[in-house]
Amino acid sequence: MSFRYLGNKTRLAHWIVGTISSVLPKGCSIADPMCGTASVSLALARTGYSVTAADALCFPVVHARTRLLANEPPAFKAVGGYEKALEWMRSALPVEGYFFREFGEAGQPANGRPPRRYFSANNAAHIDGIRAAIRELSADGALTEIEHSVLLHHLILATNKVANISGTYGYFRRAISGPALKPLTFEALTFEKSSGRHVVLQGNVEELASKLNSDAVYLDPPYTKRQYAGNYHVLETIAREDEPVAAGDGGLRPWTDQASNFCYRRNAGKAFRETLERLQVPHVFISYSEDGQVEEQELLSILADFGGVTVHEQPHIRYRSNGGGKDGPVLERLYHVNMA
């Protein structure tokens, strides 16, 4: 799968789940309310936990529904089966719609600025065609919730592969790159059955914390100042299936209502404290980078107010979305707070 995502834990999932399983017996329930690409949620499910996954943004919820709840290829009766659904997406008629206009190299943005080169003209029109076709099927009641999510999940993955970006959707490259000229591709997913009972929710962690009824919670908060809602606005628009006003040179959708306090140095410590105050669970595990907005000693001081703290560390490759930033490995820390 192709995920361009700040803080994506795919490479760390085995270590994270292994550490959690040394404390929490398999068969227990655990919540992942900041699930992102749902990589850790899926790894927990594979290990035998019942997982509640959630996120404040819509496109991670699409990923989580597909990866956790689709245990087998959906029937897709409306189009003749799963393989037919993939072919249907590949052959969708192009439409010169919202994506073509606002994000395509040949577009004419509504605010009068030059074309935003997020996508080639062909790919932007193909994305519009698929979006229109999905909306039509959905309006006709021809898709189940899982089928709907699987189609959007496929479209997000395909879009990521051809996006003309350096790493995030904060801005686009000046010239269309070679990968961005390739057509959209739709590859069959591997659907997995797991023993747990899984739930996927929509909402920010502050709203959900007091409602999580599980044996443990795994928190993976943002650790940089870059807001996910702004850096992944294109994917959010695909997941929401809307056509918001595309503002400024980058074409950002309105996103400040989805801003995370964890991204602001002045608010991050308070966000940790308020989240922990609302959680009513025996164990909390927190994945946080040494590059985070809250320094280690400050975070340890906050966590110690809620129980005994154990820290596990793992070096890994630092994410660099645009070739800039620090070089070398970064230290990821997994904090275990025994709240019992």
Give the H or E element holding residue 216: strand 216-219
Q: What is the pairing mode between strands 199-202 and 283-289?
A: unpaired
Structural domain range at position 311: 1-68+194-222+260-340
CA distance 156 to 148: 12
Q: What is the domain count for the chain?
A: 2
Q: Are residues 12 and 33 in the same domain?
A: yes
Task: Check residue 2 and give its pLDDT.
Answer: 47
Q: Are residues 266 and 325 in the same domain?
A: yes
CA distance 59 to 148: 12
Q: Are residues 282 and 323 in the same domain?
A: yes
Write out residues in the chain with pLDDT < 50, as ranges. Answer: 1-2, 322-324
CA distance 312 to 335: 6
3 state SS of 308: strand
Give the H or E element holding residue 160: helix 145-162
Task: Check residue 318 and give its pLDDT.
Answer: 62
Q: Are residues 61 and 179 in the same domain?
A: no
Are 168 and 225 spatial neighbours (Cβ–Cβ below 8 Å)?
no
Residue at 174: amino acid letter: R
- Residue 283 sits at φ, ψ, to 5 deg, of -135, 135
Q: Are residues 216 and 293 in the same domain?
A: yes
Q: Are residues 213 and 181 in the same domain?
A: no
257-267 as b/e: b if 16+ CB within 10 A: ebbbbbbeeee
3 state SS of 206: helix
Q: Are residues 141 and 217 in the same domain?
A: no
Q: Are residues 155 and 97 in the same domain?
A: yes
CA distance 133 to 66: 19
Segment 108-158, tens digit of pLDDT:
999 999 999 999 999 999 999 999 999 999 999 999 999 999 999 999 999
Segment 319-336, tens digit of pLDDT:
555 444 555 688 999 999
Q: Are residues 48 and 93 in the same domain?
A: no
Segment 83-101, tens digit of pLDDT:
999 999 999 999 999 999 9
Task: Check residue 324 and give its pLDDT.
Answer: 47
CA distance 149 to 58: 11
Task: Check residue 323 and give its pLDDT.
Answer: 47
CA distance 312 to 256: 34
Q: Are residues 207 and 63 in the same domain?
A: yes
Query: What's the CATH number where 285 sits?
Result: 3.40.50.150
Q: Count other Cβ atoms within 10 Å, centred on residue 9.
A: 24
Q: Are residues 52 and 39 in the same domain?
A: yes
Q: Are residues 119 and 147 in the same domain?
A: yes
Last residue of a domain, one of 256, 277, 308: 256
